[in-house]
Amino acid sequence: MFDELINKLKNHTYITLETTPAHSPVFSPIVDKIAELGLDKLIDGFTTTDNPLAKLKYNSLFGAKLLQDRFNKPVIATMSMRDRNKIALQSDLLGANEVDVRAILALTGDPATISDQPHTKGVFEADSSMLLDIISCFNSGIDYAGKPLSHQPKEIYPFAVVNSYAKNPKSLQKKMQKKIKHGALGIITQPVYDVENAKQLLELKEAANKECSSENRGAELILGIFPITKLRTAQFLSAHVPGINVPDYWIEELRIAHEKGANEEYKVGFELSKKLFDNLKAFHPKIHLMTANQFQIAKDILV
């Protein structure tokens, strides 16, 4: 399952769909909605998020297990450094390994200060590089302290993230290099909103791969896409989310459509998003689709 996913990432079309577990003890409604829409037949795999924005959600590893069991498709489970020390990280990885949750997206995590849980403190023993290093250790049969594990873990496949935009593009290259040196096989970008941005990111990734030693297998770049169907979403992303660049013409077209009504606003936003997806897929068919669980939009983009 995972070997096939990595082969697609390196050699073929690769499309994953993000799922965000709910503030709920059940994940099955998300699984059922995906099945109802037949989304599993349109993608190569899923991801599950890990308490994004430090808001309490259903566990990403358990969500990944349920998705894999239902659809027999690989799931990349997110793990955040914010919520776990090195003991908990390794313990979770050991348990996940036996039930075949073996693709991991390593994140540092959003700050605990924005959590919806009162007086929450972040762990942050290190950034996501430590989790990538832990995975490398496990793949070598040892724990992070260098002690041999009683059984060799099944291979774990590490992924990482990077911003899609920076005023100084070289800073993005340095971040990619760091993640590649620590073993990331795939680097998922924040949402991209034009092909020129995507081209620049690919150039930076190629440069980052060249800077890394031959011991590293190199990483593939996965372009993030988050469809925008509302003016306020475009304005928020542009003004308040670092590492994302929404082109002015997107905001202007959505502003004009907004004045004509909600239906026209949705239509224009969807058309912009669908055209972006198709153009990026033709240019670099390694895509991670994020829709905040708006799965009908995901299906409409994919078909």
User: What angle do helix axes 248-260 and 262-283 make, rounded to 10 degrees?
Assistant: 150
Average pLDDT over residues 151-165: 98
Provide CATH code, domain 2-227+285-302.
Answer: 3.20.20.220
Residue 244 has pLDDT above 90, yes or no: yes
Question: Quick one: pLDDT at residue 212?
Answer: 83
Q: Residue 80: name the closest of 171, 161, 152 by CA.
A: 161
Mean pLDDT of the chain: 96
Q: What is the pLDDT of residue 12?
A: 95
Structure tokens at 16: 């994953």
CB 48 within 8 A of CB 63: yes
For 127-136, how does the pLDDT look when each residue is reduced to its tens digit (9 = 90+)? 999 999 999 9
Mean pLDDT of 91-98: 98
Percent of the chain with pLDDT over 90: 96
**Considering the chain, what percentage of its residues have pLDDT values greater than 70?**
98
Cα atoms found within 13 Å of the Cα of residue 164, Cβ hemisphere only: 25
What is the model's pLDDT at position 211? 87
Q: Please calculate the CA angle 196-168-229 and round it to the nearest 5 degrees.
A: 45
Separation of first and last alpha carbons in the chain: 24
Please report the pLDDT score of residue 172 as a whole number: 97
pLDDT band of residue 115 (cuts 50, 70, 90) is very high
Quick one: which of 128, 104, 108 has its CA closest to 47? 104
User: What is the average pLDDT across 236-252?
Assistant: 93
H or E element at residue 14: strand 14-19
- Average the pLDDT over 253-265 and give the result: 97
Span 208-218, average pLDDT: 76
pTM: 0.96
The rounded distance, in Å, linking the Cα atoms of 36 and 55 is: 27
Q: How far is CA 242 from CA 36, 162, 231, 264, in A?
A: 35, 11, 18, 28
- pLDDT digits over 13-44, tens only? 999 999 999 999 999 999 999 999 999 999 99
Residue 270 has pLDDT above 80, yes or no: yes
Distance CA 90, CA 112 (A): 21
Helices (H), the chain: 2-11, 28-37, 60-71, 86-98, 128-139, 169-181, 195-211, 231-240, 248-260, 262-283, 295-302
In contact, 238 and 210? CB cutoff 8 Å: no
The phi, psi pair for 116, rounded to 5°, reads: -90, 0
- pLDDT in the model for residue 214: 57
**93-110 burial code (b ≥16 CB/10 A, e <16):** beebbeebbbbbbbbbbb
